[in-house]
A and B are shown apart, each in its own frame.
Chain A
Amino acid sequence: MKYESQKVALYYFAGALGLFVAQVLFGVILGTIVVAPNTLSELLPFNIARMIHTNALIVWLLMGFFGCAYYLIPEESETELHSPKLAILQFWLFLIGAAAAVVGYLFRIHEGREFLEQPLWIKLAIVVVALMFLYNVTMTVLKGRKTAITNVLLLGLWGIAVFFLFSLYNPSNLILDKVFWWWVVHLWVEGVWELVMAAVLAFLMIKMTGVDREVVEKWLYVIIGLALFSGILGTGHHYYWIGMPAYWQWIGSVFSTLEVAPFFAMVVFTFMMVWKGGRTHPNKAALLWSLGCSVFAFFGAGVWGFLHTLAPINYVTHGTQVTAAHGHLAFYGAYVMLNIAMFTYAMPNLLKREPYNQVLNMWGFWVTSSGVTFMTFALTFAGVVQTHLQRVMGMGFMEVQDALGLFYWMRLGAGVATLVGVVLIVWSLAVPGGKRAGAAIAQPAE
């Protein structure tokens, strides 16, 4: 850490970790409801628990991105943040907004569109929070050094805000509702979020491997080029069966197949940089998370996405547990691991300590990753069986679900393991032991 104002990132990391635990806890509750459906069925019905699970995920990932940006941007721009006070105010507004939304959900106050359940006034508050954030980081970048990393990160963050505006549009025609709903959901996670991901990974590679900035930044542009060239038209894979013209089956199949490319490039990039750098950075846990991020994103988003993206296959798998399997591994690999990589790298620096709790943190990595992987396999098998019974044999939905009980028990077990892993991660980050850093030890490579 070189700039005092980077410290505002600590608020965001703490908030994100708290919501991370809540998200996974609600995941375990949902997994329990699936195997024991009478659990809480009056007090906390499945739909309410589910919107808290997904919304907590989205909010903590965004909160993590904000924190990453507040840590990264002063260091890249070589200047203090435009306004640390505004950043802290923005944090509390965001956190209170998120809490208000959750309390509202418990009282059945929501807009009832998947992932965009926030009531209108919360959505507008999110826009205000986003504008405060964008103003703050953009002003910082404008007065300081401009690098490819800040360029790409800002583009991604502005993109997040711009595409969120489509959440305010809810036409009464269900087809058009879905078409533009995907402009938020798909163009976020398979579009502009990938810019944030690539930029943060590039930053971590520069700091930890010591590879020349020119090389890293060239890779960065190649990766995000692959991401958007494939990802934008890849939106078509959501337009197959919702009342859109048939040509989307070709466009979606071709371009979303290519969506594997940027994730593969990220694996090659991170491993090449670590190998070429040949420098042993003391924060081994952060390096593990960075490499894990590219690998798990490749499998979760890339391979598991490709598994059911071709139109003839998607025709039978669409809306089964195959989709749920892909969703879990992709979010974990691409965005959860990215955030944890950055938290693990940045927190010792922010607290002026040597990298601490490294072994515990790496245990958290392996336990959580194993849990999510096992969960993904359980759901994938469930999805394949469901596809066959329901979409090929034509058995009824509930009858098929009853046949999947074993897989759902396995998923619940994996979910509990994931929760344990998450507690390890949060503990290792939030309870710093270890020595105060000497001057030379935690210096980044650049």
Chain B
Amino acid sequence: MSEVLTKSAARNIFYGGTAFFFIVFVGLVAHSVSTVNAMSESHPVTASVAGGKHVWEKHACIDCHTIMGEGAYYAPELGNVWVRFGGREDAQAGRDAIKNWIKSMPTGIEGRRQMPKFDLTEKELDDLVDFFKWTSEVNTQNWPPKVSG
């Protein structure tokens, strides 16, 4: 780099530019958050959805599964598990299918990935399903492309 750009000019550009881009970023995130909050009015995080998120975290589900594509890629995507298990067509059947699936783990089948046994109460299971249902209704810009997740 020649003398066109001095060190102090480079420093000033760095500080000024960083401040500028950070302010723009904060402004955009603030706008997005207000959009998300507005959507939450018709799509509220109820006590059971919040409880389900807690169950999700208590057992570190994200360190095997993914949710909206984020997680450990070792086990299936669960952001749309409600849809995949048919909850949209028949809510009760979808709910029972997900709960029974969790209860029947681990399979112990040789050579198959094992989901641990989690001793969840009926309420915890229902909360978790409510959380999955809520997540499947988020506007994810049509992601994932296929119901397979």
Q: Is the interface of A mostly helix, strand, loop or mixed?
A: helix
Tell whether, in the assembled complex, residue B68 and residue A241 are in contact, meaning their CB atoms are under 8 Å apart: yes
Tell whether, in the assembled complex, residue A246 and residue B62 are in contact, meaning their CB atoms are under 8 Å apart: no
Residues in A with CB closer than 8 Å to B140 are 241-243
- Cβ-neighbour of B50 out of A172, A244, A249 (below 8 A): A172
Residues in B with CB closer than 8 Å to A390 are 146, 148-149
Tell whether, in the assembled complex, residue B29 and residue A315 are in contact, meaning their CB atoms are under 8 Å apart: no
Residues in B with CB closer than 8 Å to A247 are 28
Count of inter-chain pairs, beta carbons less than 8 A: 203
Tell whether, in the assembled complex, residue B143 and residue A225 are in contact, meaning their CB atoms are under 8 Å apart: no
Residues in A with CB closer than 8 Å to B5 are 218, 222
Q: What is the CA–CA distance of A36 and B91 in the complex, to the nearest angstrom?
A: 36
- Cβ-neighbour of A232 out of B21, B62, B114 (below 8 A): B21
Contacting residues of chain A (74-110) with chain B, CB-CB under 8 angstroms: 108, 110
Contacting residues of chain B (104-125) with chain A, CB-CB under 8 angstroms: 106, 108, 110-114, 116
Contact A401/B138 with A47-B60, A219-B1, A221-B10 known, Cβ cut-off 8 Å: no
Contact A318/B113 with A222-B10, A228-B21, A396-B148 known, Cβ cut-off 8 Å: no
Contact A319/B60 with A225-B17, A245-B35 known, Cβ cut-off 8 Å: no
Does chain A have a CB within 8 A of B93? no
- Cβ-neighbour of A225 out of B18, B22, B66, B68 (below 8 A): B18
The smallest beta-carbon distance between A229 and chain B, in angstroms, is 5
Tell whether, in the assembled complex, residue B62 and residue A114 are in contact, meaning their CB atoms are under 8 Å apart: yes
The smallest beta-carbon distance between B45 and chain A, in angstroms, is 5
What would be 24 A-B contacts, judged by CB atoms less than 8 Å apart?
A34-B74, A38-B108, A47-B62, A47-B116, A112-B56, A113-B62, A173-B36, A174-B135, A176-B33, A179-B29, A179-B32, A214-B7, A215-B1, A218-B6, A221-B13, A229-B21, A232-B21, A235-B25, A243-B68, A246-B141, A249-B141, A319-B66, A390-B148, A395-B148
Interfacial residues, chain B to chain A (CB-CB below 8 A): 1, 5-7, 10-11, 13-14, 17-18, 21-22, 24-25, 28-29, 31-33, 35-36, 39-40, 45, 49-50, 53, 56-64, 66-77, 106, 108, 110-114, 116, 131, 134-135, 138-141, 143-149
